[in-house]
Amino acid sequence: MIMTHPGLPEPWGYLVWAFMLLLGLWSLTAKVPQQLQRRTLNLNDFWLTRPLLRFMLHSPWPLRLLKLVVVGLFLLVIVAGLYGTPIAGRNLATVLTWNIWWAGLIVSIFFLGSAWCAVCPWDTLASWMVRPRLWFGKINNSLDLKVPRYLRSVWPALLMFIGLTWLELGVGVTTSPYATALLSLLMIVLATLAMALFRNKAFCRYICPVGRTVGFYSQLAPVELRPIDTDICAACTTLECYNGSDSVDPCPTQLVMGTLSQNTYCTSCGNCVRSCPQENVSWRLRPPSYEAVADARPHWDEAWFMLGLLALTAFHGLTMMPFWEQWMTALAQQIGDSGQLLTSFSIGLIISLLLPVLLYALTIFVLQRLNGSKVGFRKLFTGMVFITLPLAFAYHLAHNLNHLVREGVGLAAMFLNPLGTGLEPLSMAEKHQRHFDMLISQDLLFTIQGLLMMFGFWIAIKVLRHRGQRLLPSAGWRLLPVLLFIILVNAFHLWLLMQPMIMRM
Partner 1 sequence: MCFMRNLKNIFQQVVFLFFTLLLSANSFAHHVLGRPAYSLNEDSNTPPSMQVETQIGNYFVTYMIFPAFPKPGEKGRINIYASRIDSGDTLASPITFLVRDGGWFADKTEEQLGTQDVYDGVYRQGFVFKEKGSYIITAKFEADGEPYSIDFPLQIGESSSMIPIGIALGSIVLLLVVVNIVQRKRLMREKILDSRSPS
Which residues of this protein are in contact with partner 1, per CB under 8 A?
Answer: 78, 82-83, 86-87, 129-130, 140-143, 159, 162-163, 166, 171-172, 175-176, 178, 181-182, 185-186, 188-189, 192-193, 196-197, 304, 329, 332-333, 336-343, 345-346, 349-350, 353-354, 357, 361, 365, 368, 373, 376-378, 381, 424-429
The 281-285 sheet, strands edge to edge: 41-42, 281-285, 223-227
Nearer to partner 1, 129 or 239 (CB): 129
Nearer of residues 295 and 430 to partner 1, judged by Cβ: 430
Q: How far is the CB of 207 from partner 1 (least distance, A)?
A: 15
Least Cβ distance, residue 140 to partner 1 (angstroms): 8
Nearest approach in angstroms of CB 170 to partner 1 is 8
Residue 203 identity (one-letter amino acid) = F
Q: What is the DSSP string of 447-492?
A: HHHHHHHHHHHHHHHHHHHHHHHHHSTT-GGGGHHHHHHHHHHHHH
According to DSSP, the β-strands at 133-134 and 137-138 are: antiparallel
Residues 6+ apart with CB under 8 A from 5: 402, 406, 435, 500, 501, 502, 503
Who's near 87: CB < 8 A, 6+ residues apart?
177, 420, 423, 424, 425, 426
Shortest CB 26 distance to partner 1, Å: 31
Q: Which CB, 102 or 381, lies closer to partner 1? A: 381
For partner 1, which is the closer residue by CB, 12 or 345?
345
The 10 Å CB-count burial string (b at 16+, else e) for 407-445 is bbbeeeebeebbbbeeeeebeeeeeeebbeebeeeeeeb
At closest approach, how far in Å is the CB of 129 from partner 1?
A: 6
Residue 442 CB, shortest distance to partner 1, in Å, is 26
**Residue placing its CB nearer to partner 1 in the complex, 26 or 377:** 377
Surface-to-core class of residue 190, CB atoms within 10 Å of its CB (0-12 exposed, 13-18 middle, 19+ buried) = middle
Of 83 and 492, nearer to partner 1 (C-beta) is 83
Tell me how far, at minimum, the Cβ of 318 lies from partner 1, in Å. Answer: 16
> CB-wise, 239 or 375, nearer to partner 1?
375
Task: Count the Cβ atoms, other than its own, within 10 Å of residue 385.
Answer: 25
